[in-house]
Amino acid sequence: MSEIIDMPKLSDTMTVGTLVKWNAKEGDKLTFGTIVCEVETDKATMEVQHTAADGVLLKQYVPEGTQLPVGAPIYAVGKAGETAPEAPGANPTPAAPTAPAKEPAAPATPSPSIPAPQPSFIPPSFPDNQTTTPTAVSDERIKASPLAKKIAAEKGVPLSGIAGTGPGGRIVKSDVLAAEGKAPAATSPVKTAPATSPAYIGPGIQEDKLTPISTIRGVIARRLLESKTSVPHFYLEIEVDAKPLADLRESLNIKLADLPPEKGGVKFTVNDLILRASAEALRRVPVVNNSWQADGIKQNGSVHLAFGVAIEDGLVTPVIRDAHGKTLRQIALEAKELIGKARKKKLTPNEMSGSTFTVTNLGMFGIDTFYGIINMPNAAILSVGATFKKPVVNERDEIVVGYCMKIGLSVDHRVVDGADGAKFLQALKEILETPALMLV
């Protein structure tokens, strides 16, 4: 007997999901554990396994790219040759249109993106004792886009007789081009400024289209907006001598990078060292590891470090749990594994939740200074910039080349006061400038 399989709830907060890929096609045999499809949830793209009775995939109720709620039918399973039942109440919403989306039309005017009858030139009416040539001054009073005015001036087309199709009757470029050649010859030339260069007509930097918002991108947008509008951010910054950190990383990688993993081989990144130093600084100033809750301020006993990873749909923040109790090697290996899973969209919801502090790094893009938006319910986010050279005065009062790094801290003022935020950055600076401290 056939059975309809519904969209499962793949995370605690999931209400809808987008079926991004079918791994099994109609007619395929399904057994327990078969990966039937992949669904993008509010946290990650996850595999949906077949957990019902063995059988044949009779029918796929929704195409790839469809967004539908938890509990909606997605496929039917049964015996070979059996007719698939009709799905009750199936009304899925495609997450992406099959054709490029069109701009919505402005009220009471035709949309430029929808073909419409071209407007005709309407000659203005003047008394017999006046010239029939409109002046440049009158054109300036007419509602028209700057580009339309420029093209009209170059081509000698008076704006006063053109019916605009833009928002609110505004004359746009296409209106002027449509009216060109239909206007009667003027009895005297229109006074215009000398033409500079013709308007550019050619390919743009990318295609004009509306891209549907993915489930992950939508969640990121909501969380960032909530954080920025509900959390009272304040910002601190400190400059660090990055030379000792760079020297330590270089010496460790010379010894370890070329060894196989079974012999202790590992290659450290700057971010690995920053994560380890952050965990140690939070041990010294634990108030920064706390979080705001509706009924009080939660004191977090463990450091669960989140760090930003850029993916196609935006930014995800996998979490290294109990980072305060892990070595630099353990943090580096775990971070590498999580980055790989993030880029393949294989992170589980558990691997992206429960953080107490977040580190984001744009130094690899050459950004010197920036401030991240707090990743709630964290009380702070650390923003790491690039290492850059500048003149500095050393301990012997000599001007030498310095290797500097600016580190910003965005802080939730409900949880952490300015003095505690400053103490945290001071502790972090000491650890980064004496990096052997993070190895003990």
Residues with active-site annotation: 413
3-class secondary structure per residue, the chain: CCEEEECCCCCCCCCEEEEEEECCCCCCEECCCCEEEEEECCCCEEEEECCCCCEEEEEECCCCCEEEECCCEEEEEECCCCCCCCCCCCCCEECCCCCCCCCCCCCCCCCCCCCCCCCCCCCCCCCCCCCCCCCHHHHHHCCECHHHHHHHHHHCCCHHHCCCCCHHHCECHHHHHHHCCCCCCCCCCCCCCCCCCCCCCCCCCCCCCCCCCCHHHHHHHHHHHHHHHHCCEEEEEEEEECHHHHHHHHHHHHHHCCCCHHHCCCCCCHHHHHHHHHHHHHHHCHHHHCEEECCEEECCCCCCEEECEEECCEEECCEECCHHHCCHHHHHHHHHHHHHHHHCCCCCHHHHCCCCEEEEECHHHCCCCCCCCCCCCECEEEEEEEEEEEEEECCCCCEEEEEEEEEEEEEECCCCCHHHHHHHHHHHHHHHHCHHHHHC
Task: Identify the CA nearest to 223 among candidates 121, 317, 345, 106.
Answer: 317
CB atoms within 10 A of CB 135: 12
Task: Identify the CA nearest to 305 among candidates 284, 332, 345, 269.
Answer: 332
Parallel, antiparallel, or unpaired: how do β-strands 73-78 and 3-6 relate?
antiparallel
